Structure 1
Amino acid sequence: MKLVRFRSTEEEKYGILKGSRVFGLRNSPFSEGWDQEAPELDETEYALEDVKLLVPCQPTKYLGVGLNFAGAARAMGRPAPEYPVTFLKPSGACIATGEAVEIRTFEGCDYLYEGELAVIIGKRAKNVPRDEALSYVLGYTCSDDITDRRQFQKDDLRLKGADTFGPVGPCIETELDPSDVRIRSWVNGQLRQDGNTGEMIFGVPYMIEFFSSYMTLYPGDVISMGTPAGAGQIHPGDVLRVEIDGIGVLENPVREIYYESPGRQPG
């Protein structure tokens, strides 16, 4: 089942995506009364082209896992980590498919795309054992982890956390095996990444156990699971596309924004 959060001319709500049609849901899939086996429709129906897809959840945080694909670590000349390399983006970094990634360009700027599988937490999770972790997952979606690489080992928050640096979507697929799924990324129609989650060093159950051991995960929170080899630079005017088999396509243009304060230096 593919769940979407969308805006119609009347309201914002959740729905089920079937082909090119969206069927409205009476309740949020993150609500207490949600029954995934028998979701309750509200008798509304929309053409996909007539609605605006939103970020498919409303997270309190976007958690990420770095260097989590063995091939990507090798391509960077780095050993596979023995302990998860993690980071956090604020919820305000998240944008929907079709919305623009905004970057500031200046001499020496260096922004990176990273196509990834993202886990969407379905219910409150704290101190979750690994063998129960998947029961806390609502489903999975695509993410594009945007990085300001110039901030590496300089400013960890700006490295990952700027507005628009967390594209997520287009939908939440509730029936997916996260341990064996193909991830591909394109820039301007050119294939740049082609990997499989079978390369992940730390799997989804491990990371849910890991994060929930020291912080509470809330319904809608995002865990982005790392990227395969092939991540690279982006520039204004680029179109970024992430496709995950069984989920769909996340596509975002890249737009330049400018400093308005005279004398303020970027970086």
Structure 2
Amino acid sequence: MDQILPPSPSEAPTFADDFSTGLDGEKWIAHYLPQWTVPERSAARYEIVETGLQLRIESDQLDWRTEDAPLRVSNVQTAMFSGPLGSARGTHRHRSDGLEVRTETPLRLLFAPTSGRIDVTVAASTDDGCMLAAWLVGIEHLSELDAGEICIFEIDADAVSTTTRARTGIKAHGDPRLETDMAEVVLPFDASGSHTWTVIWGDGETVIGCEGIVLRRIPQCPVYPVMLLIDLFEIGTPSGAYPKTAVVSDVRAWG
């Protein structure tokens, strides 16, 4: 029998945005991990539409880094941090092939909970080569070991149909206190329509669900400040029609 997620808390969320007034610079940084690249490559392409924040990949958009081409991304995130120019210190050192700070970014903690609950309502992309994802990632400003990730979801465009496959779980990255535990789940609906993901973490456990149903219950969680990233990627050689899009309609968090 499916487990039901607990209802959202009755108290007002500590962080909330439905994007009805635009993209709030006091809540979101519209760049993807800007410390590892340069601003013209990290900047998000987006539009505010009736249903929320439309993340876009456009035909003239640059690759996030030349070394990673072809890879383009439009992302919003709730914090940023780096060490000095040329250093290897910064949030989400997610690869081992020479990431170094190209744009020094001062510490900004717009929303950086250590535990709590987040509900994210999105509509995934079905455009060629795209992936929509939402992650909670350790900021690493207190320690380089605070590098773990809760992958709320990763949805490839070619996995979206009358049912949808998604990846979800924990990625340890540089945190020896965590073990990577990712799994594929099947959603019984077309995820290009609006739907809500939930993550609840703290007290040694991470619970991830969608549309009110528990998908994963994992007996571990990060214990340090994390930031929320929501991003649309185009992975692989550019193809198909542009712009490629996904929509974030609502984010509510308690923590």
Instruction: Report the TM-score when normalising by structure 1.
Output: 0.29
- Higher helix residue share: 1
Instruction: Report the TM-score when normalising by structure 2.
Output: 0.30
Which structure would you say has the larger Rg?
A: 1
